[in-house]
Structure 1
Amino acid sequence: MVEKLPAESSVTREVVLSLPFTGLWLARNSPARRVPSHGSDLLGERYAIDFIGVDDHRRTAGTRDWRTFLATEPPERFYAFGRPILAPADGVVVDVHDGEVDHAGRRSQLALVPYMLGQMERLRQGVGAVAGNYLIIALRDSDVFVALAHLRAGSIRVAVGEEVRTGQPVADCGNSGNSTQPHVHVQVMDSVDLSVARGVPMAFRHFRERPRGARQFQVRESGIPGEEAVVEPLPVSAAEDLGT
């Protein structure tokens, strides 16, 4: 039996958010490269994007040893792990899921093999096994929702029904759920229920971006980061002063 994928959302307008962090992060699985960005329309992922914390040299971790090439690694090795995750928009928290463990990191191709073989089993286990620890915010004056996933176990700082403001710390970056190394997964969707949600296009405001292979950053007033681009949010005043 072929599983029917959710149809594309009827919400076609682009939802503009703030990047949910500070500092440098690497964009992966960007809808600027392809749609569906994660290869599936399931769980509202059609326009989702991942961000991995990096240093000035685009490195995701400061340590490389035999484990990097042959085994798993502690999540604490990675720059993203434990970094604050911020609310990307004003709204109300409508769903919170915690209690999923933070897995070891997997940069080794050998370590990735058993991980890939376990993909279908995680899907069968349900949303929590895929999204890990997550929270969902109903955006103010809108009929859409933003989800932040793969959060660090026990780090969620907000509760269902709580109002949040853009830039407010809501959790820490983790490595829970279907994740090979610590990162934050961001998506906008038309339902609070991840099992039936359909993805909605999104963009981010006021950030600088260094595309893969480029030496210089460019300032973007609004847009979606390119695949493998390094991004950093900018204060509104800085973006206005620098121009686009």
Structure 2
Amino acid sequence: MSKNLPVLFGLYPVLLSGIALIWLLRLRDRSWPNWAVWVLACGSIIAFVFMTGPWVFTSYYLRYILTALFALTAVFSYCRMKCGSPYSRRHDNRISVASVLIFLLFALLNTLAIASYYPSGKTLDATFPLRSGAYYVLQGGASIVTNPFHALAGNKLAIDIVKLSLLGNQADNLAPRVLSNYQIFGEKLYSPCQGAILKVRDSLPDNPPGNPDTNHPEGNYIVLQCLMGDILMAHLRRGSIEVAPGDTVATGQLLAEIGNSGNTLEPHLHIEARNDGKPIWLIFNGRSLSINSLITRK
């Protein structure tokens, strides 16, 4: 089952968008209020998948294409309504309860997605630890809507980061079985702050994609003590860690490489911050991140 999860993650936003577009195309012989509410309902679905869909499995840019298709479909639907008969059947003059419920549900989810960008409580502002290319937040933000797996695991403030190709995806295809096909595998990891190394593990193998090591959730990792808290960087490549407990490091110093060790389906950087053992907001160069955030480094 775990080997199929990336495929499901990649397809679900496309399928959900497709359902919304089909609903919109099927609108005909409706009253204007009925039509307007259905457009709002379908638009709320498109907004939800635009903000929270894991687009990196297909292409980061696909979400813009589907949004444009929604706009064109809405215009087509409007023109068909305007050019059609001014009369409609009686039951079509009533506003659909289903459309209202769909709109309210996705309006709530969209509100949670937007709120996930805004920090509350203590924050740790660090330097982004990756240097060359376009990086994408696969999970992040303080909401179960944008950060479901971390929220269920007890730390909804953790962030998962991958690297994008020129086509806007993380790998050569939807779910490759070779680690080197992932853009971020072997990427250099640099210190996000000045501090001291507290803990290191560097002995675990890098798992084949789709084969997580659930017995060692962090895999190979580094815990770095910064001024405002401790930063954990996990799923690192075996044999790549350049530091040891007790070392003092400067901001931007090479630490390790990104791998696929521990409880992970595919290569990515898991990073989180804690203060006195409690999760705190981790922001980079003054910027809060959530799912679908894009960070470009030259």
Q: What TM-score, normalized by structure 2, do the two folds share?
A: 0.54
1:39 to 151, 160, 181: 151
Corresponding position of 1:78: 182
Identify the residue that residue 138 of structure 1 maps to in structure 2: 225
Higher relative contact order, chain-length normalized (CA < 8 Å, sep 6+): 1
What percent identity do the matched residue pairs reach?
24
Measured in 1, the distance between the counterparts of 2:170 and 2:254 equals 22
Q: Which amino acid aligns with 1:77?
A: N
TM-score (norm 1): 0.66
State the Cα RMSD in Å. 2.3
In the TM superposition, residue 32 of structure 1 has moved relative to its aligned partner by 5.2
- Structure with the bigger percentage of strand: 1
Please tell me whether residue 100 in structure 1 is matched to residue 100 in structure 2: no
Residues 16 and 50 of structure 1: CA distance in aligned 2, closer, same or farther (over 3 Å): same
Q: CA deviation at 1:60?
A: 1.0
Instruction: Map residues 8-47 of structure 1 onto 2, 5 A cutoff.
Output: 12-22=121-131, 23-31=133-141, 33-34=143-144, 37=147, 38-40=150-152, 42=154, 45-47=155-157
Instruction: Tell me the matched-pair count.
Output: 176
Question: Is 1:204 matched up with 2:287?
Answer: no
Greater gyration radius: 2
Q: Distance in 2 between matches of 1:136 and 1:148?
A: 6
Unaligned 5+ runs, structure 2: 1-119
Question: What does residue 91 of structure 1 align with?
Answer: 195
User: 1:184 pairs with 255, 269, 278, which one?
Assistant: 269
AA partner of residue 227 (structure 1): I
1:168 aligns with 2:232: no
Superposed displacement of residue 46, structure 1: 3.1
Could you tell me which of 140, 151, 162 is aligned with 1:52? 162
Aligned residue runs from structure 1 range 57-72, under 5 A = 57-62=167-172, 64=173
TM superposition shift of 1:57: 2.1
Is residue 291 of structure 2 the alignment partner of residue 232 of structure 1? no
More helix by share: 2
Whether the 8 Å CA contact 1:203–1:224 is kept in 2: the answer is: yes
Measured against aligned partners, the alpha-carbon deviations of 1:127-148 in whole angstroms (never above 9, x if no partner) come to xx101000001113x3x10010
Q: Is the 8 A contact 1:36 1:47 kept in 2?
A: no
